[in-house]
Structure 1
Amino acid sequence: MIPFIIDGQSVEGKEGAHILEVALDAGIEIPHLCYNESVKPYGACRLCLVEVTRKGRTRMTTSCNHPVMEGMEVFTKSEKVLRARRMIIELLLGMCPGDKLLQEMAADMGVYDVRFKKGEKDCILCGLCARVCDEVVGAHAIQFASRGDRREMVPPFGEEATNCIACGACVVACPVNVVGMKDEGDERTIVRWKRTLKMKQCKVCGNYFAPWFQLEKFREKAKLPKDFYDTCFTCRS
């Protein structure tokens, strides 16, 4: 274990761990949006900024992807850090003014007015949905497109997300809840990607439980008996 200090508190982290995960495990809250323990840290939202002092040098860095190091001291609430976070949340809120979570986080940081021109977006462009789709699901159904103020998250080439298995992982991962999923009758739709798939009906209870396309992909990888995919999780257990 690697010993270091966060806000005057002695903590320890495993080799390869990052500041944010150690802080959260120790009950030290650091604001964040794009961090998810299931995928590699990316540092997109910048809200997890902290100051790190080591060997007499101090610098500001994102805590989600900064590895723990012996002897370093981390400051999560210095005036410099708080000022930077307020600027970042103001920029995010200017881009997505209607987002409730951003409004709540901004209020917690003392930000009530946005000095920047307000946009009309709802996606904060953290990329978490795509990273979960790539690294956890393995579907590679969505990606970033364009640059600057035209940057957006879309299926490849802006067309139908044909690789999407409608598992809903992106829906759960999205920190601002803008992806959306609807189950209606024998169809499931991932709203943001405009992907609609037919659902399979459980042979035991008759409920629709998963998209056919999703189950076919699982069958290709898992090599389980064919009838395993004929019943829902509840009836299998």
Structure 2
Amino acid sequence: MITFKINDQEVSARPGWTVLETAREHDIDIPTLCFHPAVSASGACRLCMVELREGSWSKLVASCIYPVAEGLQVFTETERVRNVRRWVFEMLLAACPASPEIARMAAKHGVTSTRFESHDPEQTCMVCGLCARVCEEVVGLSAIATVDRGVHKRVGAPFAKPTDVCVACGSCVTICPTGAMQSIFDSIRGVPATNLTQLG
């Protein structure tokens, strides 16, 4: 086992675990939207940022992709961490103004408005990639991809054309942290899905 500290609390972790996985094992809350234990981590949302310290040296890292190591000193609620978290929530509120889940999480952390401009007032998808990863890594298909770039980047079928690769298993809908896939799903298949057999 690997031993280190989170918020001055000594914790133990198995080799290969990340800081986020260890925190969850010890009931230490670190917010995240793009992480799910069923698929590989990507660090896309950046809500899980924590501060590592060693003497006068420190740095911010995404805890969902940062591997544990003996003697780490991890802090989840420093002023630097809270500032980054507030900034990320503001970016998410601007990117996904129609998402109740993002608004709820942001409010829980004291963020109820954003200084950034929203490009689509109806948007709920944060393009975290969980849907594409569960489709590829768990279902074994590639019916979902991210298309376009920058502020136009979105989730859809590969090459932005409906695909018959999708088997309507509903895994993407189940894993979506904002509920956005419920409305995107039919555009990926090109036809309405009347019976989703969602995976737990």
TM-score (norm 2): 0.91
Residue 171 of structure 1 pairs with residue 173 of structure 2: yes
Aligned to 2:151: 149
Tell me which amino acid in the other structure corresponds to 1:52: L
Instruction: Give 3-state SS (helix, strand or coil) of 1:193's partner.
Output: helix
Aligned to 2:23: 23
Residue 93 of structure 1 pairs with residue 88 of structure 2: no
The change in CA–CA distance for 1:13 and 1:55 in structure 2 (over 3 A counts) is: farther
Distance 2:185 2:193 in 1: 12
Distance 1:81 1:95 in 2: 21
Identify which of 138, 162, 176 aligns with 1:160: 162
Instruction: Give 3-state SS (helix, strand or coil) of 1:23's partner.
Output: helix
Is the 8 Å Cα contact of residues 6 and 73 (structure 2) preserved in structure 1? yes
Aligned to 1:229: none
- Give ranges in structure 1 of 5+ residues lacking alignment: 182-188, 200-207, 211-237
User: In the TM superposition, what is the alpha-carbon distance from 1:192 to its structure 2 partner?
Assistant: 4.5
- Say which one has the larger Rg: 1
Report 1:183-198 matches (<5 A). 190-196=185-191
Residue 12 of structure 1 pairs with residue 7 of structure 2: no
RMSD over aligned Cα, in angstroms?
A: 2.0
Instruction: Give 3-state SS (helix, strand or coil) of 1:129's partner.
Output: helix
User: In the TM superposition, what is the alpha-carbon distance from 1:193 to its structure 2 partner?
Assistant: 1.9
Distance 1:98 1:198 in 2: 23
The change in CA–CA distance for 1:114 and 1:198 in structure 2 (over 3 A counts) is: closer
Aligned to 1:231: none
Q: Residue by residue, what CA displacement relative to the aligned partner does 1:2-58 show, whole Å, maximum 9, x if unpaired?
A: 000001111111111000011011100100000011111100000000001247631
Is the 8 Å Cα contact of residues 190 and 196 (structure 1) preserved in structure 2? no
The change in CA–CA distance for 1:209 and 1:49 in structure 2 (over 3 A counts) is: closer
Task: Report sequence identity in percent.
Answer: 39
Residue 49 of structure 1 pairs with residue 49 of structure 2: yes
**Per residue, is there more strand in 1 or in 2?**
1
TM-score (norm 1): 0.77
Write out the 4+ residue segments of structure 1 that deviate beyond 4 Å after TM superposition: none
How many pairs align?
Answer: 195
Distance 1:64 1:38 in 2: 13
Is the 8 Å Cα contact of residues 143 and 153 (structure 1) preserved in structure 2? yes
Distance 1:92 1:209 in 2: 28
